[in-house]
Amino acid sequence: MSDAKPTPAPIIMGEWGEILVGDPRLRDRLPMTGVALSMGRPSDDVQLQAEGNRNILFSALTIYHATGRTPRQLADERADLLEVLEALVLVTAHKMTSPTEAPYIKAARAAIAKTRGEA
C-alpha cells in the first residue's frame, strides 16, 4: 500500500458540483473533479452515475479530513473493535459479580446490534 495521503485541507463542493480542496480564501484551490465536455448530452443514467461517483469521492475525502483515516481504515478498525467488544461482553457477562455491571453489558450489546444493523 502506498504512503501517499490526500491534501490535508478543507474540502468543499463548488458551485457547479466540482470537488475543491484548499483554503477557500486563497486562489490556489485544487479542483479534484471537473467538467468534461463530450459530443451530445449524456444520458440520465450516465449523469446520475457521475453524480453518485462525485458524492462518494466527496464523502471519502471529507471522512479522511475529519478523522485522518480512510474509509477502508475505519471499516477495518470497526471490524476489529466489534470483534473485541463481542468477546469482552461474552466473558464479562459470565463473570458478572455486581448488578451495577449489567447496564454496561446491556449498552455494549445494544452497540453491537446497532453496528451489525440489527437494532
Q: What is the pLDDT of residue 82?
A: 94
Instruction: Give the residue from 66, 56, 52 showing the smallest Cα distance to 11.
Output: 66
Q: What is the pLDDT of residue 85?
A: 93
And the C-alpha cell for 116?
Answer: 451489525
Which SS3 state, helix, strand or coil, does residue 4 take?
coil
Instruction: Answer yes or no: are the C-beta atoms of 65 and 8 closer than 8 Å.
Output: yes
And the C-alpha cell for 26?
Answer: 486563497
Domain boundaries, the chain: 11-68, 72-115
Q: What is the pLDDT of residue 39?
A: 55
Which SS3 state, helix, strand or coil, does residue 17 take?
coil
Per-block average pLDDT, block size 10, for the chain (119 residues)? 61 70 60 53 72 81 85 92 92 75 85 89
C-alpha 31: how far from chain center: 21
